[in-house]
Chains A and B, each alone.
Chain A
Amino acid sequence: MVIAPCANGRVHPETDELVAFGRRLQALRAGAIGVCIVGGDVNVAAREIAQRHSVPVTAIQAAGFSHYLSEPYVAVLTEEIEAVKPAFVCAPHTSQGWEWAPAVAARIGAGCICGVDGITECQGRLCFQKELYGGKVKGLFSVSTTTTVISVMPGIFTIKPAPPPCPPGPVTYKEAAWRPAQTRYVGTRQAGVDASDITAAPIIVAVGNGIGSPENIALANRLARRLPKAAVAGTRVVCDRGWLGYDRQVGISGASVAPALYIACGISGASQHVMGMRGARFVIAINTDPRAPIFNEADICIVEDIIRFIPLIEEACGRLAEGTKEAIDVR
């Protein structure tokens, strides 16, 4: 059972990814896919999903919660899952799915794995893959309960929607009773930071916790000044410490960037950061730890201490510039 994210009457793009994940599961374990969508006004979205993917959809309309909220979501989904008894419940690994999935699993006594980015067969058992230890390794997990609740990493599983001639799946409409909630939704505030300095820059010098102190940010600034139109960005840790402003944060809770060149200095490569810089064309990573996960995301890997190495890059660029000048002079 795929649980489509609630998005104010719209179909959220993650729904397609979850159906794709369901199809991958189907290839390994026979079974039917059904989509469930819960919210205040979900009927139109339900019909669109049924059409697009040719799958049966259950639309659970619940008056009173037009916006996602953990408490009613957990209550309504728990009831539906207990009625349908699916083998797998697939949630998006987003601020919504990551919040409700573990609680629903706990309520129904299901095994739960959050942040799944792969499925394989291992020792004859179905295994879900996810990152461990800050992304340094992937763990393969197998679940023994009749229902397994999984939250699926965004941006990994993709399919094209079923071609138009496919018959739309049937849509079942249900009403859920509104439960008195202990939590009230008050409103949403947009981020309010302007990240255009880093989203527009063709070259980004990005610093992580490895920079060690706010004074050392100057090293990155100097390197950026040496490179044409380069901007300095950072990880969440660096922004949380106040070493850079939040308008410089790259990652899921900051900006997504796609520069021609991304130089990652002292960044471990946590998935929350990497998801914001995957679009970079060329990536250079400098880190003291040869096993830092950022190296898997880099074209060029350099195992060095950034404090010592960044000045060496400047010098080397300087030497190269001198060399070029000499070469021209000779000619």
Chain B
Amino acid sequence: MKILVCVKQVPDVERIVVRDAADGMAALDISNEFRMNRFDEFAVEAAVRIKESMAGASIHVITVGPGRAADVLKRPLGMGADQGIHLKTPTDADPGPAAVAAFIAGYARSRGYRLILCGSMSEDGLNGQVGPMAAAYLDLPYATQVIAIQPAPDPSELSIEREIEGGAREMLAIRLPALLTLQPGINRPRYPSLSRLLRAHRQGVETIPTETLRPAEAWVERLGLMAPPRMRASQVLTGSAREKADRLAAILKEKAFI
């Protein structure tokens, strides 16, 4: 069974600084520290577990992004993936979910993957779109928010569960080849092993410029950014840590919580 896992390189969200810009808009200072989208670790782990339980399974891991994005493939290779593929974009700009899905579909088409796995969403874009869109381009059955994967009695199917509102689960049988986007918590992603990481370092990845794939159409354009509105008082306590703690205790007292 050939498995393709889609991983995205994202900036460290905690390090992002939002600034006020002209016209009441906002601007972002993005640090130069990038890492693998946290939601994608679950997809890599799920693929490695399938490989471990199935003779002859192999895992390819794919990313779309600029030159620096190739780094994001090391961790999955360290976790047990066999081959990395970098669809290299000419600029730093994120092509957006439709184009990313089209690039991934363009690569995956006719390469015989039985299963394509994505994360539930990217931490920067929060779209959850690449998976369903790639499935549509490839004309594959798909399911999102998948929280359990089991072999089915019929080997051409998988038994899966999707998580719906309030934590309830829909049980489905899906015929392969298929695409799944995985819900966080489906597994506990392992740490990459040092020996695999070293091997990954030597092995290198297959690099394909996105210009050679179906061109990306810019249907959706980002016109600006805004600081999110305050939903409550958002009173900031100041002073030393101890002063803040005293002030907080006084507030708790005043509100009769203690």
Residues of chain A touching chain B, judged by Cβ–Cβ distance below 8 Å, are 67, 69-71, 74, 94-96, 98-107, 110-115, 122-123, 125, 127, 129-145, 181-191, 193, 203, 226-228, 236-237, 239-242, 246, 249, 252-254, 260-261, 268, 278, 282-284, 289, 291, 293, 295-304, 308-309, 312-313, 315-317, 319-321
Best-buried of A100, A133, A289, A300 by chain B (most CB within 10 Å): A133
Contact B136 A183 (CB under 8 A): no
Interface: B208 (CB within 8 A): no
Task: Beyond A70-B143, A110-B219, list 10 extra A-B contacts (CB 8 Å).
Answer: A95-B145, A102-B129, A103-B132, A106-B101, A127-B223, A183-B175, A186-B172, A188-B171, A301-B237, A316-B249
A321 contacts which chain B residues (CB < 8 A)?
258
Which 3 pairs from chain A and chain B are nearest by CB?
A: A240-B185, A182-B141, A191-B167
| Distance in angstroms between the alpha carbons of A288 and B166 in the assembled complex | 30
Interface: B80 (CB within 8 A): no
Q: B218-258, CB under 8 A of A: which get 1 and which 0?
A: 11111111111111111111000110111011111101011
A186 contacts which chain B residues (CB < 8 A)?
159, 171-173
| Distance in angstroms between the alpha carbons of A278 and B231 in the assembled complex | 9
Contact B145 A133 (CB under 8 A): no
Q: B128-172, CB under 8 A of A: which get 1 and which 0?
A: 110111011100011111000000000000010111111111111
- Known contacts: A189-B161, A237-B184. The answer to whether A142 contacts B173 by CB under 8 A is no
- Known contacts: A136-B16, A308-B241. The answer to whether A74 contacts B225 by CB under 8 A is no
Interface: B17 (CB within 8 A): yes
Contact A132 B258 (CB under 8 A): no
Contact A317 B16 (CB under 8 A): no
> 28 A-B pairs, CB-CB below 8 angstroms?
A70-B144, A102-B97, A103-B142, A104-B136, A106-B137, A107-B136, A113-B220, A114-B126, A122-B224, A131-B228, A132-B125, A132-B225, A133-B11, A133-B123, A136-B13, A136-B16, A139-B224, A140-B226, A141-B223, A144-B219, A182-B141, A186-B173, A187-B171, A188-B170, A193-B167, A249-B167, A253-B166, A298-B234
Contact B229 A296 (CB under 8 A): yes
- Contact partner, A320, options B162, B235, B258, Cβ 8 Å: B258
Q: B173-184, CB under 8 A of A: which get 1 and which 0?
A: 111001000011
- Contact partner, A138, options B129, B225, B258, Cβ 8 Å: B225
B13's nearest neighbour on chain A, judged by CB, is: A134
Contact B172 A313 (CB under 8 A): no
Interface: B193 (CB within 8 A): no
- Known contacts: A139-B225, A291-B17. The answer to whether A185 contacts B184 by CB under 8 A is no
Q: B189-230, CB under 8 A of A: which get 1 and which 0?
A: 000000000000000000000000000001111111111111
Best-buried of B101, B183, B244 by chain A (most CB within 10 Å): B244
Contact B126 A182 (CB under 8 A): no
| Distance in angstroms between the alpha carbons of A141 and B218 in the assembled complex | 12
A129 contacts which chain B residues (CB < 8 A)?
226
Interface: B33 (CB within 8 A): no
- Contact partner, B141, options A71, A101, A261, A304, Cβ 8 Å: A71
Interface: B57 (CB within 8 A): no
Contact A301 B235 (CB under 8 A): yes
- Contact partner, A297, options B14, B101, B135, B232, Cβ 8 Å: B232
Interface: B68 (CB within 8 A): no
| Distance in angstroms between the alpha carbons of A291 and B230 in the assembled complex | 12
A241 contacts which chain B residues (CB < 8 A)?
188
